[in-house]
């Protein structure tokens, strides 16, 4: 049972263009995290409020031009948790309302983050967090992690090819037996490749953050302020008036 | 084993977010004091590695999903606080970039499956290697024991968060712990393979140089 939900062409979708894609990453980060916080704070029974929040998210999906099938596929990650919520009516008192609320909160959290990551390319997302004053050591580790994920996946396909060229065929049990050494080799090889890359970077003047180009220079524009203030007013009224 | 939004109560979310932020702040302070610049790529690689390993998930009937954790391995290789930071980064990127694990449950995830295995695992490892003889076998045996134990402990804490601190019934506890006492064996095998390989090829990268088995610290030590 290999879940491959982490892949799936997110970067291609995020590189698209729409009014939501064009918003400043900071506006989207603050707005969508705020929305999730409001949703999580709602009590079971606040169905109008949940519906309003889902309507906002659906509107964003439409405005961003995300394909429904793509969004649904990325949301399959929540299925195990929906199953857990579905068990609540049979196990606890007032479980039906509680289970529905849990299911809605999980769905809202997942959908909000799917929208954020599908409308913001990863480097811009990271830059947004840097500008929001996230601790530098954290953003540096994130940046390196992102690079290494690509190094790792390249290294895996090279090693797979090498194994197959030597007569290896992937059956489940055989695979299990050679997984440990494969992972260990992968670790050492990526590490040494990574160290070389890092030395190359520092010798070219890298000092802890990537230079910004005009392409990723960011400025809060009127539309970002409009988006954020609309969001703030909507969320505040949902939280105050609807439950 | 990532808690999503909604599976911890608002009060639990507030407390775990505050405690998680405190742990991250402390880890940043400790790491900045001691961080050699050249270790940054290794931290990034460790995070990428754990991230990739966590991609392979097994859904659990009781609600959440099981996968390799990597926290103990991160703690042993990078030290407790840098290891904890690497794990924090993994959960941050999974939550924001992949909707895997809730943003309001990030604190709970960072505590239970980040710092608990990295910091707890590191100190358990220190303890075990202190009392056991300094051989390669007991070194790797300790890695295995610590990996298994931290996987089970982390799943227990997650279960506490989602049942006592969340809406799920207490049955979640035995389900989570039961499943992870099996997942823990996979965790132990993978951690052992990786640390054995690092011990053979690059023992200089392991955080605690004073606990290396005798042969590995000698130049030209045995290659795994």
**Nearest CB neighbour to A184, from listed B63, B90, B196:** B196
pLDDT at B221 over 50: no
CA of A75 vs chain B CAs: smallest distance (Å): 8
pLDDT at A132: 92
CA distance A50 to A42: 8
Query: What is the DSSP-derived secondary structure letter of residue A76?
Result: G
**In chain B, where the domains are located:** 10-217
Question: Using an 8 Å Cβ cutoff, are A37 and A106 in contact?
Answer: no
Q: Name the band, by pLDDT with cuts 50, 70 and 90, for residue A159.
A: confident
CB contact under 8 A, B5 and A195: no
In chain A, DSSP assigns E strands to none
pLDDT at B73 over 90: yes
pLDDT mean over A98-113: 93
Percent of chain A with pLDDT over 90: 42
CB contact under 8 A, B97 and A78: no
Query: Which residue carries 């710092």 as its tokens?
Result: B115
For chain A, say whether B176 makes contact (Cβ under 8 Å). no
SS3 of chain B: the string is: CCCCCCCCCHHHHHHHHHHHHHHHHHHHHHHHHHCCHHHHHHHHHHHHHHHHHCCCCEECCCCCEECCCCHHHHHHHHCHHHHHHHHHHHHHHHHHHHCCCCCCCHHHHHHHHHHHHHHHHHHHHHHHHHHCCCCHHHHHHHHHHHHHHHHHHHHHHHHHHHHCCCCCCCCHHHHHHHHHHHHHHHHHHHHHHHHHHHHHHCHHHCCCHHHCCHHHHCCCCCCC
Tell me which chain B residue has its CA closest to the CA of residue A11.
Answer: B97
CA distance A232 to A216: 26
Residue length of chain B: 224
Check residues B35 and A179 and name the one with the higher pLDDT: B35
**Nearest CB neighbour to B31, from listed A77, A85, A137:** A137
Reported ipTM: the value is: 0.86
pLDDT at B149 over 70: yes
- B 80-139 residues with CB < 8 A to A: 85-86, 88-90, 92-100, 102-104
pLDDT at A215 over 70: no
Query: What is the DSSP-derived secondary structure letter of residue A16?
Result: S
Question: Using an 8 Å Cβ cutoff, are B138 and B27 in contact?
Answer: no
- Residues from chain B that touch A78, judged by Cβ atoms under 8 A, are 4, 99
- Residues from chain B that touch A3, judged by Cβ atoms under 8 A, are 55-57, 59, 65
Fold of B10-217: Arp2/3 complex 21 kDa subunit ARPC3 (1.10.1760)
């Amino acid at each position: 049972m290999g879940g491959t939900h982490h892949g799936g062409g997110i970067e291609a979708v995020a590189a698209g263009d729409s009014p939501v894609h064009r918003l400043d990453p900071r506006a989207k980060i603050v707005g969508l995290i705020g929305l999730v916080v409001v949703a999580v704070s709602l009590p079971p029974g606040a169905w109008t409020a949940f519906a309003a929040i889902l309507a906002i998210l659906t509107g964003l999906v439409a405005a961003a031009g995300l394909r429904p099938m793509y969004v649904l596929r990325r949301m399959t990650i929540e299925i195990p948790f929906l199953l857990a919520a579905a068990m609540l009516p049979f196990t606890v008192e007032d479980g039906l309302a509680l289970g529905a609320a849990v299911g809605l909160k999980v769905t809202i959290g997942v959908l909000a983050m799917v929208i954020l990551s599908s409308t913001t390319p990863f480097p811009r997302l990271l830059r947004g967090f840097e500008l929001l004053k996230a601790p530098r050591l954290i953003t540096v580790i994130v940046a390196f992690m992102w690079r290494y994920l690509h190094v790792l996946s390249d290294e895996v396909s090279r090693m797979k090819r090498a194994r197959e060229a030597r007569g290896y065929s992937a059956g489940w049990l055989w695979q299990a037996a050679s997984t440990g050494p494969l992972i260990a080799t992968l670790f050492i090889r990526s590490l040494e490749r990574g160290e070389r890359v890092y030395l190359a970077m520092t010798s070219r003047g890298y000092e802890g953050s990537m230079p910004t180009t005009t392409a990723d220079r960011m400025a809060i524009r009127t539309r970002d302020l409009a988006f954020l203030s609309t969001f703030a007013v909507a969320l505040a009224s949902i939280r105050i008036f609807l439950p | 084993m990532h808690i999503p939004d909604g599976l911890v109560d608002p009060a639990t979310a507030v407390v775990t977010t505050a405690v998680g932020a405190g742990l991250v702040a402390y880890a940043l302070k400790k790491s900045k004091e001691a961080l050699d610049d050249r270790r940054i790529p290794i931290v990034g690689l460790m995070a990428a590695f754990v991230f990739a390993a966590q991609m392979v998930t097994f859904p659990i009937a009781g609600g959440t999903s099981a996968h390799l954790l990597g926290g103990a391995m991160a703690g042993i290789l990078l030290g407790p606080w840098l290891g904890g930071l690497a794990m924090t980064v993994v959960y941050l990127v999974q939550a924001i970039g992949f909707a895997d694990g809730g943003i309001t449950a990030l604190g709970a995830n960072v505590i239970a499956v980040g710092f608990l295995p990295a910091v707890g695992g590191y100190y358990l490892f220190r303890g075990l290697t202190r009392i056991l003889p300094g051989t390669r076998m007991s070194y790797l045996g300790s890695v295995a024991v610590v990996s298994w134990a931290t996987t089970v402990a982390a799943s227990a804490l997650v279960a506490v968060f989602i049942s006592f601190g969340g809406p799920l019934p207490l049955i979640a506890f035995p389900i989570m712990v039961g499943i992870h006492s099996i997942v823990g064996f996979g965790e132990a095998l993978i951690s052992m393979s990786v640390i054995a390989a690092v011990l053979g090829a690059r023992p200089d990268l392991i955080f605690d140089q004073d606990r290396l088995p005798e042969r590995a610290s000698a130049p030209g030590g045995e290659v795994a």
